[in-house]
A and B are shown apart, each in its own frame.
Chain A
Amino acid sequence: MAEERLKSATRILTQRGILIAFILFMVGFSVVSDRFMTADNLQAVFRQAAIIGVMALGVTLVVICGNLDLSVGSLLSLSTVLVVDLHDKIGPISAIAVTLLVALAVGAVNGLLVGVARLNSLIVTLGMLSAIQGLTLIYTGGQNVDIQNQDTTWFAIFGRGAILGVPTQILIFVVLAVVMHVVLAHTPFGRRVYASGGNPTAAVFSGIRRGRVVLATYMTSAFCTGIAAIILGSRVMGSQNNVGQGYELLVLSAVILGGTSLLGGSGSIAKTVIGVLILGFIQNGLLLLGFAYYVQWLVTWVVIILAVWLDIAAKRGRMFSPFA
């Protein structure tokens, strides 16, 4: 009896490990730093996490479908540059529309190459990463862009404003997360995404048009990145032409940290939200404790590997790999 109880305790520990780690983090930081558990600070963490969070929602879909999207970092650069540059030229509404359309077009290219031409997603999106970064530099001619009348434009609402006291970017993240959760967990489309990622061949045999599903996941991912770019552009009111460099791997870290498997077929929006928040709280907590910003990278290294290791260990029922 006691043995069984111990077994189920271990199972809970390993299966819900990331959640427990998350809670431990929160408790630990609030004990050590009295500024951590304040409303102001929590809001600050959420605001910082919003951009990576919104991108991670889309990438989660792509990963569950069994693919990778490394192009989101460059796409963030391109979209931010576009929305900021066009803001003064054609007005905010058209700028937002054009930016989202361009993002969707990029997503469609990714989706067609991976979904229809059946090319390896890692390499396709690696190529797109390079190409989009180049296009961004060509578009700006290597210059940085900014918005002229920063105090008078309503465009500021996305990154600096608040609706009913809640910062808009947090609101966007939450709403998008809820919508994506419903789509993924409660619609036929969501089931097709899981099926295509879990067992592609079986999915095709059961009548799922996998190409379309893959296309849709990439376009969603690109759309989310477009939204993140609007938040970023509005917050900074300007953009460097390589602002998104490295984001693709940070976003992927958040998704993996949450427990979505790179093999596809498993994962959820809730997991990704937890992953994003853990990254955000590690960063914030370490800064509050007075560590330099780069110490968080070291901690993230350990946390990512431990999180995935525990996850895998729970699934195979033993701690170490069977490799001789």
Chain B
Amino acid sequence: MNRTLRWLSRNPIWGFILLIFVFFSLANPFFFDLQNFENILVQTSTIGLIALGMTLVMINGNIDLSVGGIVALSASLVVDIQGWEIFAGWGDWQLVPAVAAALLAGVALGALNGLIVWWTGVDAFIVTLGAMLGIRGIVFVYTKEQSFYATNFAFSDFGSSNIGPLPTLAVVFLVCALLVHWLLSQTVHGRNTYAVGGNRQAAVNAGIRIGPHMMVNFIILGFLAALAGMTLASQMGASTPTLGQDYELWVITAVVLGGTKLTGGAGNIVGTLGGVLAIGILRNGMNLMQVPAFYVLVILGVILIAVLFLDRQLNRKGQEGYRL
């Protein structure tokens, strides 16, 4: 019992999830339903995929504001390229070059961000702030401000298909979550991620090549953001150039709710899963209760600050008190 309480005090987000879960289950007859849980998982998967990568980058002590642009670029690429005439005779194989191009774009842009952070030593916040504008520019140049519509039905069907009892997109998300969790908790790269974020100088002294290391995490994030863009495009059967706007804010909110520190060195995938679920359940539950979407924004903002405040109250050691 004591251990549970201590765990909850370090991960207040799961307490919050329990609270809203019970609340919505009692308040709305349609919430506690297997079908609805699957909906929540699918709705969460897009933000969730990006949040997995963002967790790595933030544990590193970096941040990435450019993920929204990568989402839009990969969605536009995958939807546009599958309709190219040179692939017209390929049948469903036309998806292969489309998917490859989208993933490659994500990886390349992640690598570019990482490379700039590595070589110039400019703070990741600034590097990716610039990239946020620039990548959105690339999307607009590429699409000429047009929306694209998917021509391949297999692509649109993928977004609403099932693997066994579970929606495919939820499975994709859960598998990625497991993989990233394994990477972070069981591998040398994962240990180095904490080391670099916790004390950069010490990590250098311990022989970690932190430049390439940080770049790998940016690449993983770019890959996952591109994947998220594709899942979004397949759900809609289309892409728009403004897709993914504000996603960086949602994702950072989810990761911080999950207990990852902005200063780096602390955080984990289980927490991030909690942060993503909290947002998903809140949006879904309030939707079911027909509360306008505006209120979710307010509640989310307040919760974000409240979790930060709670975290400071519960875990403060040797910090100065309140004084105006």
Contacts and interface: CB of A to CB of B under 8 A. Distances in A.
Interface of A: 112-113, 115-120, 122-124, 126-135, 137-138, 142, 204, 209, 211-212, 215, 245-246, 249, 252-253, 256, 262, 292, 294-298, 300-302, 304-305, 308-309, 312-313, 316, 320-324
B130 A253 contact: yes
A316 B121 contact: yes
Contacts of B209: 323-324
A304 B125 CA distance: 12
B278 to A, nearest CB: 14
Contacts of A209: 323-324
Given A127-B301, A301-B133, A312-B122, A324 B204 contact: yes
B83 to A, nearest CB: 23
Contacts of A116: 322-324
B118 A321 contact: yes
B258 to A, nearest CB: 13
Given A126-B304, A130-B249, A138 B294 contact: yes
B149 interface: no
A249 B119 contact: no
B305 A123 contact: yes
B126 interface: yes
Interface stretch (B28-36, B38-46, B134-142, B170-178): B134-142
B298 interface: yes
A137 B297 contact: yes
Interface residues of B, number: 58
B107 interface: no
A149 B54 CA distance: 49
B295 A298 contact: no
B305 A134 contact: no
Contacts of B121: 312, 316, 320-323
Contacts of A295: 137, 141
Nearest to A294: B140
B190 interface: no
Contacts of A321: 118-121, 211
A130 B126 contact: no
A115 B322 CA distance: 9
A128 B123 contact: no
Contacts of B297: 130-131, 133-134, 137
Contacts, number: 173
B141 A115 contact: no
B108 interface: no
B300 interface: yes
A294 B297 CA distance: 28
B320 interface: yes
Given A118-B319, A301-B130, 17 more contacts: A113-B305, A119-B305, A119-B308, A124-B308, A126-B304, A130-B249, A131-B300, A135-B294, A137-B294, A137-B297, A142-B294, A253-B130, A256-B126, A292-B140, A294-B137, A301-B135, A312-B120
A109 B305 CA distance: 11
A316 B122 CA distance: 12
A305 B122 contact: yes
Contacts of A316: 121
A209 B136 CA distance: 42
B145 to A, nearest CB: 8
Quick one: which of A116, A123, A132 has the most chain B CB within 10 A?
A123
B323 A323 contact: no
A182 B292 CA distance: 46
Interface string B303-324: 1110011001000000110111
Quick one: which of B131, B246, B319 has the most chain A CB within 10 A?
B246
Nearest to A131: B301
A146 to B, nearest CB: 20
Nearest to A241: B294
A126 B252 contact: yes
A321 B212 CA distance: 12
B129 A119 contact: no
A175 B293 CA distance: 40
B249 A126 contact: yes
B137 A302 contact: no
B292 A142 contact: yes
Interface string B198-225: 0000001000011100100000000000
Contacts of A142: 292, 294
B298 A297 contact: no
Contacts of B322: 116-118
B134 A301 contact: yes
A297 B136 contact: yes
Given A134-B298, A137-B297, A298-B141, A262 B320 contact: no
B302 interface: yes
A138 B129 contact: no
30 contacts: A115-B324, A116-B322, A116-B324, A118-B319, A119-B305, A119-B309, A126-B249, A126-B253, A131-B297, A134-B294, A135-B298, A137-B292, A142-B294, A212-B324, A249-B65, A253-B130, A262-B126, A294-B140, A297-B134, A298-B133, A298-B134, A300-B134, A301-B131, A301-B137, A305-B116, A305-B126, A309-B120, A312-B121, A321-B118, A323-B214
